């Protein structure tokens, strides 16, 4: 059943935002640790990033501390960790270049969505779909396992197998989410075309749009969570 998204509040100093900022600060540290081959410390930073990513969302809902800044910081931190991991693991020849190309191409594939949605009057954001979040989490699980898989022994071999399983699933879900975001954007474009004209203008052949379909209305949430940037 669809529900309207609650408008995020303009708060900055909240517990979830502090956790997201801490995750962002950890990105260059993590990349340096990977390049220095301090793998256990790098894994520790990734574990912290994963736990804080889960915790800030829980706290935002539990403490009613959802904010516009948080809807930007949270997906930005995830993207930067994925980018830093791709750079570090590619330089160390742990992951192939084709995987990097697939993931970077997905980001470029959804790049035009924000200006299109903003032009329609929706603020340039779409609700984050569960598929996109699941894809991101699979990738965040995959990379530390692939890092472990670079070491010798049975544990390293098992980590490599599990890491590639998560990487393949994560990449597939990542692209699936991109298709869903474009489908959402198409629906918003069609709704915008059917929106009622400005006061004093003659209605077009399509007639008035359904309630809440025109620009300025919030996108329907469906089974999606939060009005965040697509992941």
Helix/strand/coil (H/E/C) assignment for every residue in 94-128: CCCHHHHHHHHHHHHHHCCHHHHHHHCCCCCCCCE
What pLDDT, on a 0 to 100 scale, did the predictor assign at position 122?
74
pLDDT at 200: 46
Identify the DSSP state of 210.
P
Helix axis angle, 15-35 relative to 39-62, nearest 10°? 170
Q: What is the pLDDT of residue 68?
A: 72
CA distance 64 to 142: 31
Rounded Cα gap, residues 101 and 77, in angstroms: 20
pLDDT of residue 158: 94
Q: Is 228 helix (H, G, I), strand (E, B) or coil?
A: coil
pLDDT at 195: 63
Here the tokens at position 160 are 């490599």
CB 206 within 8 A of CB 197: no
Task: Identify any residues that bridge with 128 across adjacent strands, giving them in sequence order.
Answer: 225
pLDDT of residue 201: 42
The whole-number pLDDT of residue 173 equals 94
207 — alpha (psi -120 to 50), left (phi > 0) or beta? left
Closest alpha carbon to 81 in 11, 20, 122? 20
In the predicted model, residues of the chain with pLDDT beneath 70 are 1-11, 123-125, 127, 195-231
Residue 9: what pLDDT?
A: 60
Angle between helices 154-193 and 130-148 (to 10 degrees): 160
pLDDT score of 18: 82
pLDDT at 124: 58
């Amino acid at each position: 059943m669809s529900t309207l998204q609650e408008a995020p509040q303009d708060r900055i100093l909240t517990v979830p935002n502090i956790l997201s900022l801490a995750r962002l600060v950890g990105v260059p540290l993590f990349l340096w640790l990977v390049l220095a081959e301090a793998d256990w410390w790098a894994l520790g930073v990734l574990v912290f990033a994963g736990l804080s990513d889960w915790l800030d969302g829980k706290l935002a809902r539990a403490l009613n501390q959802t904010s516009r800044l948080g809807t930007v910081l949270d997906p930005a931190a995830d993207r930067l960790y994925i980018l830093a991991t791709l750079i570090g693991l590619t330089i160390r020849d742990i992951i192939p270049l084709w995987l990097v190309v697939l993931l970077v191409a997905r980001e470029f594939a959804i790049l035009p969505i924000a200006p299109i949605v903003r032009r329609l009057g929706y603020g340039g954001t779409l609700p984050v779909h569960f598929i996109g979040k699941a894809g991101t989490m699979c990738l965040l699980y995959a990379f530390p396992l692939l890092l472990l898989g670079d070491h010798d022994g049975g544990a390293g071999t098992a980590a490599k197998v599990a890491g590639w399983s998560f990487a393949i699933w994560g990449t597939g879900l990542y692209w699936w989410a991109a298709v869903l975001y474009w489908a959402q954007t198409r629906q918003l474009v069609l709704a915008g075309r059917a929106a009622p004209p400005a006061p004093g203008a003659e209605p077009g052949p399509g007639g008035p749009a359904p309630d809440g379909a025109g620009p300025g209305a919030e996108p329907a949430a469906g089974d999606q969570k939060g009005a965040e940037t697509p992941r």
